[in-house]
Structure 1
């Protein structure tokens, strides 16, 4: 039986950072990881360069049943704090777009930094741990038992095992099962930042696989202006991944093609070039295959000079509000994160501790806080881990 001040389940972004922060505050930490190595999702993120934060990260960039929950942690550990840590380790980075920060080199640098941040005399990382049982005794101590019989005991337990997105990396719903075991509610999890699939009449657009264009995409009241990508299954690209977190089955996704075009661009085109066709004008502004597909569906084959302004305005309106009816998503296998998770109503926004179960904490993706695409989910991992580590230190003192 290994005794420590805290057991952290999961050595991903949140778990690694919490272990380092807790260890630096003098706590002995048993960091347990199911995989054979730590930080596997960090290593594949950002195309292997790790989009480790976003300069603009704030509460408005997160989806949760309680939109106010993330405010406390995000205010106390901000992007500038993590950037300072990265700078201290001499890791070169750059802003790619929209405040997204990436390593110039490799995501391996971030994992190495995290491990270096864990004091060797305080944090013990054990990989390949298949947890068979977690129990809490009458004294409030938690005991974690592995399938091979090894045991760890501590007065505090941190759930940092993430959600079920990207199961090939070892992801599962373990966090939710453990939360329910201790009587905590779970907001229904679902794939987020995930490609959408098309069927029915929309399936014709799958013929455009590989074609991308800048658009505005909207699901419900939430809109993003980035690129959309047509795939052999449906829709992807940054704009689609973003709105997928807000989309629900049965709802439409609205796409604005030519988001930067003037409001009466077609009518102006008619006056300037009355003998031109809609297909020609679309090809000047969009990839040829996409322009042809849209022109075919709009069915306007006459010269623009022979089309009424009313009909042209109808085409402009259709292009500015093209409705797709996705029949699903590509699921957890392709989802970058999981929306939903351990209900924030069960946790303290200041400490991440469960109100019903003293000594039990949940951080990172395991919690019902889901960030936008572009480094926001990593920032939540750092911020929630920092808040948790602070609370653990206060608890011990």
Structure 2
């Protein structure tokens, strides 16, 4: 049997955050790598992230900030490539950065700087790119993987799936990674949109009239809780608190919102004692945006001075405002989702190298894998860490 000598040591599918980090590390280690990308330019999701400034990592990165069927899976890669490591790279390229709230690091300038940095690192180390290449087929002959695109075929003993998840399809995102994983016998955890606005219907329609109103709340679903701003939209709920909780929400379930996270338990009863003539809606309006206060008062059916309202009713109102239930009828879907929950099952992969246990030579990294970070730079840190771990192993 005649074997064609493989063209490369590794072919990486996808020139996003994880793929480019992997290519950089592998090329630095002397591997011949080719990055195949269907878009005509690299890093399209990087470019739009963080409002065009790229929230490239989070200094509070820790395993508990990630969702996965196996919460321990992320520990190895995250411990070996940290936010400090990535920051050192950013600073070596003279890219100015700043910390926003909650440990989020952003470029002062543009996300384009992060993309240029990665491309420069890959090419300087001898890695190659092939842009505008749609993968038509991937085969394995027992020794090498062969990737066919409209430009022809290339082969290598190692293949890395770094094509992300289906979120934001207008940027060329698709479920390709899952199809490929299944082709090679790997299980996939059912993907669903995450970090996504939720939609409201029925009893909650009244809240959609508040489009544009925002308030700091604590949003919760099951055991997960996030304190940040919630934003009412013409379709439902958004804002950081809602995007965070959406990753923990399943269709049919409700979420709860605490509109007054800082107030003591019996604050309404106390207000009644101190200002008996105060009107209930005025009291709410002093602490919340006026339109929101009006809708909540209307929903609670409490009108008039506090002294005329029974303590029992006020206690019920306190309870409701502390855990106001919303039952979303859906989300805005993959079109608006920043990331995907689910993906290639972590049980199929080595947490050290990201290599498929049943398929030596096949690797999966980044968003394609069943690992999802919180909002705020965590998903980028997973891309850097998983890409780096894979690049070290190639």
TM-score of the superposed pair, with normalisation by structure 1: 0.97
Superposed counterparts of 1:358-377, under 5 Å = 358-377=360-379
- Structure 1 partner of 2:145: 142
**From 240, 243, 247, the counterpart of 2:242:** 240
**From 107, 113, 118, the counterpart of 1:103:** 107
- Structure 1 partner of 2:290: 288
**From 43, 49, 53, the counterpart of 1:49:** 53
Superposed counterparts of 1:53-64, under 5 Å = 53-64=57-68
Matched-pair contact (CA < 8 Å) for 2:28–2:125: no
- Structure 2 partner of 1:80: 84
Q: Distance in 2 between matches of 1:106 and 1:121?
A: 24
Q: Distance in 2 between matches of 1:76 and 1:290?
A: 46
- Structure 2 partner of 1:133: 137
Shift of 1:315: 0.8
Shift of 1:121: 6.0
Q: CA RMSD in A?
A: 1.0
**From 302, 322, 344, the counterpart of 1:342:** 344
Matched-pair contact (CA < 8 Å) for 2:145–2:157: yes
**From 5, 9, 17, the counterpart of 1:13:** 17
Q: Distance in 1 between matches of 2:136 and 2:116?
A: 29
2:254 is the counterpart of 1:252: yes
Shift of 1:273: 1.3
Q: Distance in 1 between matches of 2:117 and 2:34?
A: 18
Partner of 1:4, secondary structure, is coil
- Structure 1 partner of 2:97: 93
Matched-pair contact (CA < 8 Å) for 2:32–2:126: yes
Matched-pair contact (CA < 8 Å) for 1:30–1:152: no
Give 4+ residue runs of structure 1 displaced > 3 Å after superposition.
none
Query: Judging changes above 3 Å, is the alpha-carbon distance between structure 1 residues 149 and 102 closer, same or farther for their aligned structure 2 residues?
Result: closer
Partner of 2:164, secondary structure, is coil
Shift of 1:173: 0.3
TM-score of the superposed pair, with normalisation by structure 2: 0.97
Size of the aligned set, in residue pairs, is 390
Shift of 1:57: 0.7
Q: Distance in 2 between matches of 1:128 and 1:121?
A: 22
**From 263, 276, 279, the counterpart of 1:277:** 279
